[in-house]
Homo-oligomer: A and B are copies of this chain.
Amino acid sequence: MSLNGNGHASHGNGNGNGLTATGNDYPVPTARAEWIVKRKEEAARTGDTNMSQMHFARKGLITEEMAYIAKLEKLSPEFIRDEVAIGRMIIPANINHPELEPMAIGVGSLCKINANIGNSALTSNVDEELRKLHTAVHYGADTVMDLSTGGDIPMIREQILRHSPVPIGTVPLYEALNRVKRLEDLNIDVYLEVIEEQAKQGVDYFTIHAGVLVEYIPLVAKRITGIVSRGGAIMAQWMTHHHKQNFLYENFDRITEIMAKYDVSYSLGDGLRPGCLADASDEAQFAELKTLGELTRRAWKSDVQVMIEGPGHIPMDQIKLQVDKEVELCDGAPFYVLGPLVTDIAPGYDHITSAIGAAMIGWHGAAMLCYVTPKEHLGLPNEKDVKDGIIAYKIAAHAADVARHRPGARDRDDAISHARYTFDWDKQFALSLDPETARSMHDETLPDDYYKEAAFCSMCGPKFCSMNWSSKVDKFNESEFGLKKPDLTQIVTEQMALRG
């Protein structure tokens, strides 16, 4: 299995970035390791311990990561720097994650997708999680979150980090809770201890539920599904037990200090996101979002990068509103959304219900889409579920890029359409998101090699293929009117080259 370049970055595909794929397709640290060493030496010399990309950008510097991303995204390095400086783009890149191939999340770059992996107390082990990581990266996940809640969490995370060319995010609250055992024993000290350890290990972004304030708790009473965010529910229960304000909110600046040292990015968690259509866009949700905006500005004061997490379950007619509100309340910090699911009635198919919402919200400006697998609401996803979730989200993110008219976004569509029309089956498979599946579906009825050049498939058979007839109409248009088909040779060649 080779990494097929579905990702926006070319994980291990040898594009001259200095990272090379190992036998099992995982990267070994080379180029970025050197960049980081230099940067740490510089910090020791100057005493400026803020290592965040935003800090460098605001000093006017173009880091190696920014230059690398500029090339990947076909944008200017100055544009990347300026977007990072104003906070509309983040580069989640912990200085202790040298295995990383840098990538950017922001409305100015391609729409990204995240895959959640990680075990629960009931199931999974480290090998299974590494297989999920591999599958996620292979099919094009741009970042991966390790949401492990059981077993040896630090060991699993270490394995994931050391094998991941993509940014890794976590929810440190899970490990903190495992450490104290009883929920009510959670406190800022154990939390800071956990995030410092995770930051040292190289985690690139933390989901932190600092916006669930004690005064918002009554706002969820009228909801059908209450609080569905694990982090949000933990903090809410802690606050109701102690009758105190959220300790993450109260100690936000202490957290920020650690984030700055390692360049961990905030992913400000939406602890009060709606868990069903009925609860969407309610007072609780937008109250928290306003607080996330306040925290964004506080983090930015320390040059710490921030993205904002979003829902969840949202009917289609409210999706644009979600982006508009986020941009307004959080000053354009990148919006990182889970789905959203546009209906609640399809457990077993929530990769589809949520890909609909994800595509739409990506079009409207969300910067990263967190996938949902078919197992959502039912159980822990396995490797197959991870793949199904990723493919659905590659579709959503790509459709969003096309609808936003990002330069060149439609090239791959045009190339595959040309291959389709000219009955170049092998190219059609190669250019598709999942070549193996496309080929095997075709071969289910027409397996022989002969049919790879056939001007039909089993859908219509040789006598009823519209494209076959249409090519005769093309000849008519050429002989009668001198009208020629567009020449797509260059686009097809470029797109095929990208897929090696």
Pair A236/B343 contact, Cβ less than 8 Å: no
Q: Does A45 contact B (CB under 8 A)?
A: no
Pair B414/A460 contact, Cβ less than 8 Å: no
| Smallest Cβ-Cβ distance to A232: which chain B residue | B466
Q: Does A227 contact B (CB under 8 A)?
A: yes
Q: How far is the CB of A233 from chain B (nearest CB, A)?
A: 4
Of the candidates B149, B225, B349, B442, which one forms a contact with A378 in the assembled complex, judged by CB atoms under 8 Å apart?
B442
Q: Does A126 contact B (CB under 8 A)?
A: no
Pair B438/A347 contact, Cβ less than 8 Å: yes
Alpha-carbon gap, A413 to B353, bound state (A): 12
Enumerate chain B residues within 8 angstroms of A442, measured Cβ to Cβ.
Answer: 378-379
Pair A434/B346 contact, Cβ less than 8 Å: yes
Pair B399/A353 contact, Cβ less than 8 Å: yes
Q: Does A417 contact B (CB under 8 A)?
A: yes
Selected interface stretch from A20-28, A32-40, A288-296, A469-477: A469-477
Q: Does A63 contact B (CB under 8 A)?
A: no
Enumerate chain B residues within 8 angstroms of A43, measured Cβ to Cβ.
Answer: none
Pair B402/A228 contact, Cβ less than 8 Å: no
Per-residue contact bits, chain A 420-464, to B (CB 8 Å; 1 contact, 0 not) = 110000001101111001100110111000000000011111111
Q: Which of A386-422 contact B (CB under 8 A)?
A: 391-392, 394-396, 398-400, 402-405, 410, 412-414, 416-418, 420-421
Q: Does A356 contact B (CB under 8 A)?
A: yes
| Smallest Cβ-Cβ distance to A279: which chain B residue | B417
Q: Does A229 contact B (CB under 8 A)?
A: yes
Alpha-carbon gap, A32 to B416, bound state (A): 48
Q: A316-B363, A483-B218, A483-B222 are in contact. Are A473 and B346 (CB under 8 A)?
A: no
Pair B477/A220 contact, Cβ less than 8 Å: yes
Pair B464/A120 contact, Cβ less than 8 Å: yes
Alpha-carbon gap, A237 to B347, bound state (A): 46
Q: Does A345 contact B (CB under 8 A)?
A: yes
Pair A149/B464 contact, Cβ less than 8 Å: yes
**What is the interface size of chain A, counting residues whose CB is below 8 A from a CB of the partner?**
121
Per-residue contact bits, chain A 339-369, to B (CB 8 Å; 1 contact, 0 not) = 0001111111101110110011001000000
Alpha-carbon gap, A119 to B222, bound state (A): 52
Alpha-carbon gap, A217 to B474, bound state (A): 9
Pair A474/B226 contact, Cβ less than 8 Å: yes
Enumerate chain B residues within 8 angstroms of A477, measured Cβ to Cβ.
Answer: 217-218, 220-221
Q: A481-B221, A486-B224 are in contact. Are A345 and B416 (CB under 8 A)?
A: yes
Pair B120/A459 contact, Cβ less than 8 Å: yes
Q: Does A121 contact B (CB under 8 A)?
A: yes
Pair B226/A467 contact, Cβ less than 8 Å: yes
Enumerate chain B residues within 8 angstroms of A123, measured Cβ to Cβ.
Answer: 445, 458
Q: How far is the CB of A490 from chain B (nearest CB, A)?
A: 14
7 interchain pairs, CB-CB under 8 A:
A149-B460, A149-B463, A183-B469, A225-B417, A230-B460, A236-B470, A277-B414
16 more CB-based (< 8 A) A-B contacts, given A237-B473, A353-B395: A122-B462, A275-B421, A278-B414, A317-B404, A344-B414, A345-B395, A345-B413, A345-B432, A346-B394, A347-B432, A349-B392, A351-B352, A356-B360, A378-B441, A379-B458, A380-B459
